[in-house]
Amino acid sequence: MTVLYPNSRTGKTPLKAGTDYTVKYSSGRTNVGTYKVLVTLKGNFQGSKKVAFKIVRASQPMTVSVKAKSVKLSAVTKEAQLVSGAITVQKAKGAVTYQKVEKGSSPALIVGKLSGKIKVRKGTKKGTYLVRVKVTSAGTRNYKAASKIVTVKIVVK
């Protein structure tokens, strides 16, 4: 923080913290909100001033990575197969949910809303399938919500 004192000769004089002034902040400054700071002059200077400042919600630091996965045809012929580990979410602030984006996605694949696991329907034929997934982090009091759409490749072989 820079504190400037009006000076009739040079305009404004920069003051030194601790020597020329003290600063007192309101408590709880780690969360979103409006807070006050009190600057009190001392030594050769007199006066004080209260100033308000805001802490706003930070951007979501969430990162999403995908990994292609494969499923054996013999297993899918018998029953639906659950594929985990295809989507990895890190550093998300707030609850994470997953939603299949129908456009550009194979109807043979289903996405778990809370787990992000991908289910390959029973009877799916041999081939390569794509599913687009919208990954959303709800955010928190101090972090904004955010979404990212990723494409996952599932190979039935």
pLDDT tens digits for range 100-149: 999 999 999 999 999 999 999 999 999 999 999 999 999 999 999 999 99
The pTM of this model reads 0.80
**113 shares its domain with 48:** no
User: CA–CA separation, 85 vs 36, rounded Å?
Assistant: 47
What is the per-residue pLDDT for 13? 85
pLDDT value at residue 5: 84
φ, ψ at 73 (rounded to 5°): -60, -40
Task: Give the structural domain span for 89.
Answer: 63-156
Do residues 12 and 85 share a domain?
Answer: no
Q: How far apart are CA 41 and CA 50, in angstroms?
A: 12
What pLDDT was estimated at residue 51?
A: 92
Domains held by the chain: number: 2
Q: Provide the pLDDT for residue 6.
A: 85
Residues 67 and 43 in one domain: no
